[in-house]
Chains A and B, each alone.
Chain A
Amino acid sequence: MAIISFRSDEIHCKIVYYGPGRGGKTTNLITIHKALGHQVRGELLSIDTAGDRTLFFDFLPMDLGSIGKFRIKISLYTVPGQVRYNDTRKLVLKGVDGIVFVADSLEARKGNNVESLKNLGDNLHDQGKSILELPLVLQYKKRDLTGSRVALLPVEEMEADLNANGHYPSFPASALKGDGVRETFKKICMMTVVDVSSRLLKDKGMSLTG
């Protein structure tokens, strides 16, 4: 749930990185945290990882500066990807304004991607939200392994699995090398801010710039 404060002219949004376990959601946040200057980012908070697996969530608050008269503040979260932590995922998803779905390009993870996207749809439905109406960006991770001995899913096949109607924007990415991470982040921020502001300001005859 977004918060718009008319005293300080701030908009606060919540963006969640969702996806199957070991997909690279936390690595996305680490890369964003490293790439941005001190004035933009807050502290990256990672909660209790057991053997590098996220147990609760990661959290990164950011101040993106101003658009028009509003200052945009964004909180990034990741969810634990492992199937058994669905209660925690539901908790983190509460009040979400935008989602990045991080899909794993490894061929062996094809089923996990589809299952996780379905799980996201179900969890949003429980909150009374529709996956089709919320800003969502797909990210196909681990593309840097192309040409290695590891079997990767072709991007076209991942699109067919997860984005058959081409409804969502998608980006190939490698969080370790940093490719695509920034593009994904920019896109979801833009979509989320536009969605929140049009939802909340339009009926009052206001816009971000006016």
Chain B
Amino acid sequence: MADLILTKQTLDRIDQVLQSLLTASGAHTVLLIDKAGQLISFQGTMDQEKVASLAALTAANYGATTAIARLFGEEEFTLLFHKGKEENLHFSNVGEEYLMITVFNNNTHLGLVRLEVRKGLEHIEAMFAENLRQWFNT
């Protein structure tokens, strides 16, 4: 797992993508984290103190789920969904090393969230590639 250096431009653009994902999907919070559990960026209304815990737990949860996937001969499950009475969570792989967590309530639908998450993922994956190029060229 490589270290990550984020330039200001990349972070600003990541935030823009996350913000438009929130607007388009009707979700209330979205987080981008690495698989070691470190928060890269977050947008939304969730309590800041809980965000760090959510990042750490999600990375661990994802790791455990990957171990389950391997029991079935799958390399990994690329997305996860937790449904609650009020709150729902959608987890998705971003490239090899990152995860996106979208938190939404019953004001929107899973289908819409999945669609918008998929659009956002493409942008973010491209940005990580661009971020690496920027850093190595400076």
B49, A6: Cβ atoms under 8 Å?
no
B35, A92: Cβ atoms under 8 Å?
no
Interface flag for A56 (CB, 8 Å): yes
A45, B36: Cβ atoms under 8 Å?
no
Give the residues in chain A near B138, CB-CB below 8 Å: 204
Residues of B within 8 A of A (CB): 1-8, 11-12, 34-40, 49-50, 52-53, 56-57, 59-60, 63-64, 67, 138
Given contacts A3-B4, A42-B53, A59-B37, 14 further A-B contacts (CB under 8 A): A3-B40, A4-B3, A5-B6, A5-B11, A12-B38, A14-B36, A14-B38, A43-B49, A43-B52, A45-B53, A57-B56, A91-B63, A94-B63, A199-B3
Interface of chain A, helix or strand or loop or mixed?
Answer: mixed
Give the residues in chain B near A75, CB-CB below 8 Å: 37-38, 52, 56
Output the nearest chain A residue to B33 by Cβ-Cβ distance.
Answer: A3
Q: Give CA–CA (A56, B50) in the complex, Å.
A: 18
Interface centre among A6, A8, A56, A95 (most CB of B within 10 A): A95
Scan residues 112-161 of chain A and give those whose CB is less than 8 A from a CB of chain B. 127
A91, B56: Cβ atoms under 8 Å?
no
Output the nearest chain A residue to B64 by Cβ-Cβ distance.
Answer: A91
Output the nearest chain B residue to A96 by Cβ-Cβ distance.
Answer: B36
Output the nearest chain B residue to A127 by Cβ-Cβ distance.
Answer: B1
A4, B6: Cβ atoms under 8 Å?
yes
Interface flag for A7 (CB, 8 Å): yes
Q: Give CA–CA (A201, B26) in the complex, Å.
A: 39
Contact A95 to B49, CB < 8 A, known contacts A1-B1, A59-B56 = no
Q: Give CA–CA (A3, B10) in the complex, Å.
A: 13
Give the residues in chain B near A57, CB-CB below 8 Å: 56, 60
Q: List the 4 closest pairs (A to B, CB-CB), nearest first.
A: A95-B36, A91-B63, A61-B52, A7-B8
Interface centre among A3, A14, A127 (most CB of B within 10 A): A3
Q: Give CA–CA (A2, B7) in the complex, Å.
A: 14
Q: Least Cβ distance of A203 to chain B in Å?
A: 10
Give the residues in chain A near B7, CB-CB below 8 Å: 6-7
Interface flag for A107 (CB, 8 Å): no
Q: Give CA–CA (A42, B52) in the complex, Å.
A: 8
Q: Give CA–CA (A147, B37) in the complex, Å.
A: 42
Contact A3 to B3, CB < 8 A, known contacts A14-B38, A59-B53, A61-B52 = yes
Q: Give CA–CA (A70, B18) in the complex, Å.
A: 25
Interface flag for A193 (CB, 8 Å): no
For this complex, 26 residue pairs linking A to B, each with C-beta atoms less than 8 Å apart, are A1-B36, A2-B4, A3-B3, A3-B5, A3-B38, A4-B5, A6-B5, A6-B7, A7-B7, A8-B11, A12-B38, A14-B36, A42-B52, A45-B57, A57-B60, A59-B57, A61-B56, A75-B37, A75-B56, A91-B60, A94-B59, A95-B35, A95-B37, A96-B36, A127-B1, A199-B3
Q: Give CA–CA (A121, B50) in the complex, Å.
A: 33
A87, B6: Cβ atoms under 8 Å?
no
A3, B60: Cβ atoms under 8 Å?
no
Interface flag for A102 (CB, 8 Å): no
B3, A1: Cβ atoms under 8 Å?
yes
B63, A3: Cβ atoms under 8 Å?
no
A3, B34: Cβ atoms under 8 Å?
yes
